[in-house]
Amino acid sequence: MAFAAIKDNGSVVTWGAWNHGGDSTAVATLLAEGVVQVCGNTGAFAALKSNGSVVTWGDTFSSGISSLIAPLLAKDVVQVCATSVNAFAAIKANGSLVTWGSQFFGGDSSKVAPLLTEGAVQVCGTNGACAALLANGSVVTWGDDSVGGDSSEADGSVVTWGCDDYGADQSAVAALLSGVVQICGGEMAFAAIKADGSVVAWGDSRYGGDSSAVASLLTEGVVAIC
C-alpha cells in the first residue's frame, strides 16, 4: 500500500498508506542520505545504508526490531530482504543472518540459527518464508512450512518445495531443469534460465507459469529474468 524511492543523493522519499510505510517522517533524518537498498513487506520498509546500518519504518508488527536485534543491525549489514508478510532478513559481512518481524512468516529463524552463523551469501523471501544460500552451496529455509519454510525434502538438485499450486510442483518440466544458472520467482510461478540461454517456466499458468505463447522467443539468448 506504499512506495519508497531512493534518490541519487542517497535519500529516500515515501508515499502511500501512512501506516504501511508511506509515512517515514519518524526516521526522516536517518533517510536523508546514504541509503543503498530498500525492501518492503506488507506493512513496512527496511533501508540498508552505506555504513552498513538498517533503518525500518511502517507498521510496527511488520518492522519492529527488538532490543536484542537492534545492535546486530547497527553496522556491517550487506543485504536485506523481506517476506511478503511481515518479516525481514539481513545478511551481515561475516556471513551471519539476522531476522525480525512476525515469528510465523520468517521473522523467527531460531530453529535453524546454528546453520546461519556464517557463510550466507544470498537470502530471498516468499509470502511467509525465507531461504538462504550458503557459500558451501547448501540452502537453509525457515518460516511458514506451507509456503517454503520446510525444505527437508531437498536433495541438492533443482528442487522446489512449498505449495504445489504456486510452483512447488515442477514435475511437468523436471526433465528440462538441468544446467540452470538462475531462477526467478513470481507470486505463483517460477522461471529458470539455463546455461544455453533458454527459459523454462512452471507454476500457475495465470501468473506466468505457462510461457508456451512466447516459447519460440525463449530458446536462446536470455541473460536475466525479473
pLDDT score for 181: 80
The pTM for the full model equals: 0.69
Residue 195 or 46, more confident: 46
- Percent of the chain scoring above 70 in pLDDT: 96
Residue at 175 is within a domain = yes
Q: Please give the grid coordinates belonging to residue 92.
A: 551481515
Residues 138 and 181 in one domain: no
Residues 56 and 111 in one domain: yes
Of 152, 185, 206, the residue that ends a domain is 152
Residue at 112 is within a domain = yes
Residues 146 and 169 in one domain: no
What number is the average pLDDT over the span 64-76?
85
pLDDT score for 156: 42
Q: Please give the grid coordinates belonging to residue 151.
A: 525444505
What proportions of the chain, in percent to the nearest 5, are helix, strand and coil?
Answer: 20, 35, 45
Residues 115 and 142 in one domain: yes
What number is the average pLDDT over the span 188-214?
93
Question: In total, how many domains does the chain have?
Answer: 2
Q: In this predicted model, what pLDDT tens digit does every residue of 36-68 receive, in sequence order?
A: 999 998 889 999 999 999 999 988 776 667 677
Residue ranges making up the domain that contains 219: 164-226
Residues 16 and 48 in one domain: yes
Residue at 159 is within a domain = no
Residues 147 and 170 in one domain: no
pLDDT(155) > 60 = no
What number is the average pLDDT over the span 144-169?
80
Residues 11 and 111 in one domain: yes
Of 127, 152, 177, the residue that ends a domain is 152
Residues 62 and 31 in one domain: yes
pLDDT(157) > 60 = no
Burial class (CB in 10 A: 0-12, 13-18, 19+), 100: buried
Angstrom distances, CA of residue 24 to CA of 19, 81, 87, 133: 10, 19, 18, 31
